[in-house]
């Protein structure tokens, strides 16, 4: 065999051996080396989610920038790995920035922290940048991975204003995170119909009694209606149920004491039952209610006032029932007042914290429109239940004996009742609806004037003269 042929055979044999060896090696298709020319966001290296990228800060001034294009809203966590340098100093800082390069959140990695994962954070579809910088120089390689989850419900940054609020579906847990000190999370809640709302706020226990979160509900213009607080050790909080009219509302989550813990926010809505709907703070915005019906209400702040309105078609005996849970306090917490259209007080009931079931006196009210005002005297966020009870008084004016006709027998009953009362007798006096029928001028007294009007009415009718009570009583 010629020398050249031997060389060719040797090369082929070596190539085949190498190919066989490579086929047995693990594949590293998911790992990409950083380009080395990615020091700015303009030159950032494009990376994919769920794909490792290996990098190295080659000098004290080196910065590695990576571009991440999210095709859809995503919940993701950032993993940062390196070998153990056995040093507690911070060696790397890594940050997430928005499409304009504004840093949203920064983390640190010490030499001895070899495997770090951020909390899961939600981001809206778009372009973001991962920026890795040296804090304490070391030539050790790092590995970076953006792990993405697109399922579930989560906030999407940047949602720091009403304009950019994340839409929050009702009755659906949503994951959120206040990733920096000045971060605020806004959620938009759309009520298609009047609803009782209950806000559930959850997080893991960080064993700290300080207030870490404040969460509020605001109206469509962003005016805060009510604020609650959650301490680090309060892992599962539920507000009282509060009624709101159909409209757009906002839930605002803020940090009072910084912690990088995820929270879960759920707005539960119930459209069944009867309840007040905010805002009903004035007579003009009073909730229309029906008598003999229980309504759930809540004074969500010390300045809150609840107004209700009801209508009586006929004279009625009216009372109010006011119920609430036991607060175990003898102070008056609520005043409940019935007023007429002239703002005249007709009924008043005060309820102490320990008065769980109150009933007012019964007052006779004529037909018309009335208002119920509930205001706080001593502040409590306990729900109350309001019921207006009304027994309609049905009678025919002038029919004192209720026999279906107006005649001399009614005059006799009226005169007989007046005579007995004049001599101090109390037996068999006209009372109730019979009294109301006999009180022609409706001044609350049965006397000779009423008897005169009655006789004039009967005589006019007997003579065929068209007449009604309005023409008689002048």
Range of lowest pLDDT (257-261, 302-306, 430-434, 450-454) = 257-261
The pLDDT value given to residue 35: 57
Residues 175 and 261 reside in one and the same domain: yes
Residues 385 and 296 reside in one and the same domain: yes
34 or 339, greater pLDDT? 339
Q: Per this entry, what is the length of the chain? A: 474
Q: Is residue 13 part of a domain?
A: no
The pLDDT value given to residue 11: 36
Number of domains within the chain: 4
Residues 118 and 181 reside in one and the same domain: no
The pLDDT value given to residue 34: 57
Residues 266 and 361 reside in one and the same domain: no
Q: Is residue 250 part of a domain?
A: yes
Q: What is the pLDDT of residues 343-397, one digit of tens each?
A: 999 999 999 999 999 999 999 898 999 999 999 999 888 999 999 999 998 888 9
The pLDDT value given to residue 137: 78
Q: What is the pLDDT of residues 11-41, one digit of tens each?
A: 333 333 333 333 333 323 334 455 558 899 9
CATH code of residue 317? 2.60.120.380
d(CA 162, CA 125): 19
Residues 197 and 224 reside in one and the same domain: yes
pLDDT at 440 over 90: yes
Q: What is the pLDDT of residues 126-143, one digit of tens each?
A: 999 999 999 987 789 999
Residues 376 and 316 reside in one and the same domain: yes
Closest CA to 270 of 232, 235, 240, 310: 240
Q: Is residue 188 part of a domain?
A: yes
Residues 195 and 296 reside in one and the same domain: no
Q: Is residue 114 part of a domain?
A: yes
Residues 382 and 431 reside in one and the same domain: no
Q: Is residue 304 part of a domain?
A: yes
Q: Is residue 277 part of a domain?
A: no
| Alpha-carbon Rg for the chain in angstroms | 39
Of 337, 357, 392, which residue constitutes the final position of a domain?
Answer: 392
- pLDDT confidence bin for 4, thresholds 50/70/90: very low
Q: Is residue 87 part of a domain?
A: yes
Residues 39 and 139 reside in one and the same domain: yes
d(CA 278, CA 226): 11
Mean pLDDT of the chain: 88
Q: What is the pLDDT of residues 209-250, one digit of tens each?
A: 899 999 999 999 999 999 999 999 999 999 999 999 999 999
Taking residues 114-121, report their average pLDDT: 90
Q: Structural domain of residue 185, as residue ranges? A: 166-270
Residue carrying structure tokens 């279906």? 404
Residues 338 and 301 reside in one and the same domain: yes
CA atoms 189, 191, 192, 195: torsion sign? positive
**Does 308 sit behind a cis peptide bond, omega within 30 degrees of 0 on the bond before it?**
no
Q: Is residue 1 part of a domain?
A: no
Residues 386 and 414 reside in one and the same domain: no
Residues 38 and 143 reside in one and the same domain: yes
pLDDT at 78 over 60: yes
CB atoms closer than 10 angstroms to residue 179: 20
């Amino acid at each position: 065999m010629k020398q050249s042929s031997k060389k060719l055979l040797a090369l082929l044999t070596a190539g085949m051996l190498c190919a066989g060896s490579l086929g047995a090696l693990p594949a590293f298709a998911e790992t990409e080396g950083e380009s080395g020319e990615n020091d700015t966001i303009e030159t950032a290296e494009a990376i994919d989610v769920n794909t490792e990228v290996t990098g190295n800060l080659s000098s004290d001034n080196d910065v590695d920038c990576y571009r991440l294009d999210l095709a859809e809203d995503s919940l993701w966590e950032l993993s940062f790995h390196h070998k153990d340098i056995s040093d507690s100093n911070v060696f790397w800082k890594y940050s997430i920035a928005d499409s304009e390069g504004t840093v949203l959140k920064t983390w640190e990695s010490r030499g001895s922290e070899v495997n770090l994962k951020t909390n899961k954070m939600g981001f809206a579809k778009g372009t973001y940048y991962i920026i890795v910088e040296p804090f304490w120089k070391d030539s050790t390689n790092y590995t970076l991975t953006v792990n993405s989850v697109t399922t579930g419900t989560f906030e999407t940054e940047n949602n720091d204003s009403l304009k950019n609020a994340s839409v929050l579906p009702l009755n659906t847990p949503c994951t959120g995170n206040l990733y920096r000190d000045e971060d605020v999370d806004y959620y938009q809640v759309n009520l298609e119909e009047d609803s009782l709302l209950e806000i559930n706020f959850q997080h893991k226990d960080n064993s700290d009694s300080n207030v870490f979160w404040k969460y509020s509900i605001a109206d469509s213009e962003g005016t805060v209606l009510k604020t609650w607080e959650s301490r680090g050790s309060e892992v599962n909080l539920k507000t009282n149920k509060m009624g709101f009219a159909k409209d757009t509302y906002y839930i605002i989550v803020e940090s009072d004491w910084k912690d990088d813990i995820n929270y879960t926010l759920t707005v539960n809505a119930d459209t069944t039952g009867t309840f007040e709907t905010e805002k009903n703070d004035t007579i003009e915005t009073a909730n229309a209610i029906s008598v003999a019906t229980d309504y759930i209400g809540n004074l969500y702040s010390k300045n809150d006032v609840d107004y209700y309105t009801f209508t009586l078609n006929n004279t009625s005996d009216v009372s109010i029932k006011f119920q609430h849970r036991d607060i175990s306090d003898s102070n008056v917490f609520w005043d409940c007042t019935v007023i007429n259209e002239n703002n005249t007080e007709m009924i008043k009931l005060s309820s102490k914290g320990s008065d769980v079931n109150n009933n007012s006196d019964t007052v006779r009210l004529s037909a018309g429109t009335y208002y119920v005002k509930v205001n706080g005297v001593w502040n409590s966020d306990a729900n109350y239940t309001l019921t207006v009870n009304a027994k309609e008084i049905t009678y025919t004016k002038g029919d004192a004996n209720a026999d279906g006709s107006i005649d001399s027998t009614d005059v006799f009953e009226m005169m007989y009742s007046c005579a007995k009362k004049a001599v101090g007798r109390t037996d068999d006096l006209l009372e109730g609806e019979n009294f109301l029928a006999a009180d022609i001028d409706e001044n609350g007294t049965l006397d000779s004037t009423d008897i005169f009007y009655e006789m004039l009415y009967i005589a006019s009718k007997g003579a065929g003269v068209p007449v009604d009570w309005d023409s008689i009583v002048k």
